[in-house]
A and B are shown apart, each in its own frame.
Chain A
């Protein structure tokens, strides 16, 4: 995927004027957060579970090597294969190799953000293999040559008309705007692909070390067909998804469904444990797990380690007023919203993604809903500090802050600046009580008035004995 994060501001400006997008974002806001709140309300122990989940994830991350090795040996014991991919390139090559070994022409795919992260579809296409997305949202995006704008509802930026348009164009059927008809259409198209596919690729929400299982949680059931029908099943996932036991996994499942969609439980929770065994009715003959690192292991042991607790529930973006205003594509890469503002700089470099961790008021809403209590604002601030230290922040910011700092460290001077500014602004406002155009503050006064100061500063008046 092309990196557009450096153009965040421009992307955002366009997004704010996009009527269709704004309508879609309004639906999002009225949906997930309301449902989550209701689900949390119904579960008195929810906050305790969040603490447990945070602690368990911390434990896992401190013993990541041990659990990953345990997972690997269990997969192998079950007759499967584990591949370690340090980079996106490694992951794509590994998957291509497997596909070529089995002579694959068509692969079906369940929803996987890691596959977006490594840009798998493009890589396969370039090498003559047709990837077919089977998640409805992803399928629509693939038809439109579009990308996900949300980690669990990838096509959330589209409206019904967009879908109807795309289906009409690609399915060569009469145009319909009845969701049931559209769904049926997609089903018919995809059935053929499910049967034709040589390889099925899915992601994994968790990897269970004690059994060597991977699990996908979905609401459509497409993932089940993707992974059971073809002869070869490849799981592409990332190293922080490992959990020690099946029971541990259930803790995260309970939190994930509620935090994401407000469901008590996701509709399909499908475990894969190795290839088909003798006597099994169905299932793939080959089972591969590709474990992607892509900068994650570098986060272990640093302040950013907390980010690896993320279970990709999307609550942070669903509740984020900035995401809600500009949508996921504005962020310009795979992961949007608060979690993306922390992860993206790690994966594509702070020099490309510096605008993202800055695009937050630090309102703290994301942290307040994160099921694993990731201190997202603190981690965004980590990147701002990193940017500042590397002299990557815009000059205006650096000079502005050091100039301001010079005064802020000297109370007498600071008094003088406050006094003069108050006087000046009061003067400008005249009797109106507010200013509608202030030099050097266009960012403010283009959109809103600047209320005028009362006149004299508090410090001056206090000194004069006023009470």
Chain B
């Protein structure tokens, strides 16, 4: 827990998907960080973490983006973002530069400061004063990079357990990839479809009414599938629930859907 005088200065890594698709996720992250006593700033020079280039084998472009991002977050005590995948990418920057290259040391330094939001709150700040309410049963999807690269598993669950009225119903194979994989889902659409179809079945079978996760890419994929299949399960990013920011319709949901559904039941 930060002491009363020390307010950690956090640079928010917005992530390009939150910026473009779901600003609420970024606002919710800011709110949680402030509740935990941080001062939050949003550096202008950030864009994307560089994963599309990194995973397509374009090392040069990845390095350029890495350098830009490293510079953008110079001077911040911590760098925090609402995505295990993007923060995981920041952690990979060090691998892009050769031993002895000054950028390598700077990348290592960034890695030591960069955290996924739920793990930052729990592991770094030991913060759990969540004041939120959610009237529903959720199921949690563990996104791959957060889970296997950064060890994000119990942190979101621990925080969610503090939300009033919320019930967690674990699905089968919560740790199995949803088939998003960035460019994978457009390069191998039918394989990706099989994976997300499997996921959708597990989600429904859990009986939960809301799917929650920590990565927008995966959530867009799964929500898109659930909606295409006409399922009523809604999808939200974990920070929306933890920060109590539920004004926006759930991912891929129109306001009207809820009413239509309510009428049906």
Binding site for B on A (CB under 8 A): 9, 12-13, 16, 321-322, 325-326, 358-365, 367-368, 378, 381, 383-389, 393, 397-398, 401-402, 404-405, 407-411, 414, 418, 421-422, 431-434, 436, 441-444, 446-454, 456-459, 461-462, 466-467
Q: Tell me which of B16, B26, B221 contacts A418 (CB under 8 A).
A: B16
Tell me the bound Cα distance from A466 to B193 in angstroms: 37
**B189 located at the interface, meaning its Cβ lies under 8 Å from any Cβ of chain A in the complex:** yes
The interface of chain B, by Cβ under 8 A from chain A, is 14, 16, 18-24, 26-27, 30, 42, 44-48, 50, 52-59, 61, 64-65, 68, 95, 144-145, 148-149, 175-177, 179-196, 198, 220-221, 223-225, 227-228, 248-249, 251-257
Chain A residues within 8 Å of B47, by CB: 407-411, 414
| B50: nearest chain-A partner, CB-CB | A408
CA distance A408 to B175 in the complex (A): 31
| Distance between B87 CB and nearest chain A CB, rounded to angstroms | 15
Do B181 and A360 touch (CB < 8 A)?
A: yes
> Shortest Cβ distance from A242 into chain B, in angstroms?
30
Given A321-B179, A434-B227, CB of A364 within 8 Å of CB of B191:
no
* A457-B23, A458-B19 known; A405+B189 contact, CB < 8 A: no
**Which residue of the partner chain B has the closest CB to A389?**
B57
CB-CB nearest 7 A-B residue pairs: A361-B181, A451-B252, A384-B57, A388-B57, A433-B254, A448-B224, A443-B186
Q: How far is the CB of B2 from chain A (nearest CB, A)?
A: 21
Given contacts A362-B144, A454-B248, contact A446 B189 (CB under 8 A): yes
* A447:B20 contact, CB within 8 angstroms: no
A214 to B172, CA, bound (A): 42
Distance from A358 Cβ to chain B, minimum over Cβ atoms (Å): 6
Contacts of B192 in A (CB 8 A): 361, 443, 447
In terms of DSSP, what is the predominant structure of the interface of chain A? helix
Tell whether A321 pairs with B16 under 8 Å between CB atoms, given A401-B53, A444-B224: no
> When the two chains form their complex, are residues B224 and A408 in contact, meaning their CB atoms are under 8 A apart?
no
| B148–A405 CB distance below 8 A | no
Return chain A residues, CB-CB under 8 Å to B26. Answer: 458, 462
CB pair A404–B52 under 8 Å, yes or no, is yes
A363 touches B148 (CB 8 A): yes
Find A448's partner among B30, B61, B175, B196 (CB 8 Å cutoff). Answer: B196
Q: How far is the CA of A365 from the CA of B147 in the complex (A)?
A: 10
The 10 listed contacts between A and B (C-beta, < 8 Å) are A9-B188, A365-B144, A386-B57, A398-B58, A404-B52, A411-B44, A418-B19, A421-B20, A447-B228, A458-B18
Interface of B (DSSP majority class):
helix
Q: Which listed residue, B56, B181, B256, touches A363 by the CB 8 Å rule?
A: B181
Is the beta-carbon distance between B61 and A401 smaller than 8 angstroms? Answer: yes
- Which of A13, A364, A421, A433: most chain B Cβ within 10 A? A433
Give the CA-CA distance A329 to B30 in the complex, in Å: 48
A450 contact from B24, B58, B95, B220, Cβ within 8 A: B220
Contacting residues, chain B, for A407 (C-beta < 8 A): 47
Cross-chain contact of A16 among B179, B191, B225 (Cβ < 8 A): B191
B148 and A365 contacting across the interface, CB-CB below 8 Å: yes
Residue of B nearest to A409 (CB): B64
Besides A448-B193, A454-B21, 19 new A-B residue pairs in contact (Cβ under 8 A), listed by A number = A321-B176, A321-B195, A358-B188, A359-B184, A361-B181, A363-B148, A363-B176, A385-B58, A397-B183, A402-B61, A405-B61, A431-B256, A434-B254, A447-B189, A448-B196, A449-B252, A451-B21, A451-B251, A457-B19
A461 to B42, CA, bound (A): 12
Task: Write out the residue numbers on chain A whose beta carbons fall within 8 Å of the beta carbon of B44.
Answer: 411
Q: Of residues B56, B181, B187, which shows the largest number of chain A Cβ atoms within 10 Å of its Cβ? A: B56
In the bound complex, residues from chain A placing their C-beta under 8 Å from that of B183 are: 397
Q: Is the CB of A404 within 8 A of B228?
A: no
Q: How far is the CB of A452 from chain B (nearest CB, A)?
A: 7
Q: Which residue of A lies closest to B46 (CB)?
A: A411
Taken together as a complex, chains A and B put the C-alpha atoms of A284 and B254 apart, in Å, by 75
Distance between Cα atoms of A16 and B191 in the complex (Å): 8
B249 → chain A closest CB, angstroms = 6
Q: How far is the CB of A221 from chain B (nearest CB, A)?
A: 36
Q: Which chain B positions have C-beta within 8 A of A466?
A: 27
Bound-complex Cα distance A388 to B55 (A): 11
| Nearest CB in chain A to that of B48: its residue | A408
Query: Whole-angstrom distance between the alpha carbons of A52 and B223 in the complex?
Result: 42
Q: How far is the CB of B133 from chain A (nearest CB, A)?
A: 21
CB neighbours of A9 from chain B (8 A):
188
Q: Please judge, given known A-B contacts A364-B144, A365-B148, A409-B68, whether A459 and B19 are in contact too, CB under 8 Å.
A: yes
Report yes or no: A454 in contact with B56, Cβ–Cβ below 8 A. Answer: no
Partner pick for B249 among A386, A433, A443, CB 8 A cutoff? A433
B27 touches A385 (CB 8 A): no
Residue of A nearest to B175 (CB): A365
Contacts of B190 in A (CB 8 A): 12-13, 16, 447
Contact check, A459 vs B42: say whether CB atoms are below 8 A apart: yes
Residues in A neighbouring B195, C-beta threshold 8 A: 321-322, 325, 361
Contact A467 B27, CB 8 Å, known A384-B55, A443-B186: yes
A404 B55 Cβ-Cβ under 8 A = no
Q: How far is the CB of A156 from chain B (nearest CB, A)?
A: 18
State the CA gap A240–B134 with chains docked (Å): 56
Q: Give B203 Cβ to nearest chain A Cβ, in Å.
A: 13
Q: Within 8 Å CB of B196, what residues of A?
A: 447-448
Contacts of B58 in A (CB 8 A): 385, 388, 398, 401-402, 405
Contacts of B61 in A (CB 8 A): 401-402, 405, 408-409
Distance, CA A402 to CA B53, complexed state (A): 8
Contact B57 A387 (CB under 8 A): yes
- On whether the beta carbons of A436 and B228 are closer than 8 Å, the reply is yes
Cα-based distance from A385 to B50 in the complex (angstroms): 14
- In the complex, residue of chain B having the shortest beta-carbon distance to the beta carbon of A418: B20
**How far, in angstroms, from A446 to B45 measured CA to CA in the complex?**
35
Closest to B179 in A: A361
CB distance from A211 to the nearest CB of B (A): 39
Kindly provide the distance from the CB of A29 to the nearest chain B CB, expressed in whole angstroms: 9
Q: Are B148 and A451 in touch, CB under 8 angstroms?
A: no
Q: Name which residue of chain B comes closest to A325, CB basis.
A: B194
Give A433 to B235 CA distance when docked, in angstroms.
13
**Bound-state Cα–Cα, A393 to B58, Å:** 10
The answer for the CA separation of A361 and B184 in the assembled complex, in Å, is 6
Complex Cα distance, B185 from A384, in Å, reads 16
Question: Cα distance A418–B95 when bound, in Å?
Answer: 28
Knowing A404-B52, A405-B64 are in contact, say whether A458-B27 is a contact too (CB < 8 A): yes
| Given contacts A322-B191, A325-B194, A360 and B48 within 8 Å (CB-CB) | no
Q: A411-B46, A458-B23 are in contact. Are A449 and B185 (CB under 8 A)?
A: no
How far in angstroms is the closest Cβ of chain B from A78? Answer: 45
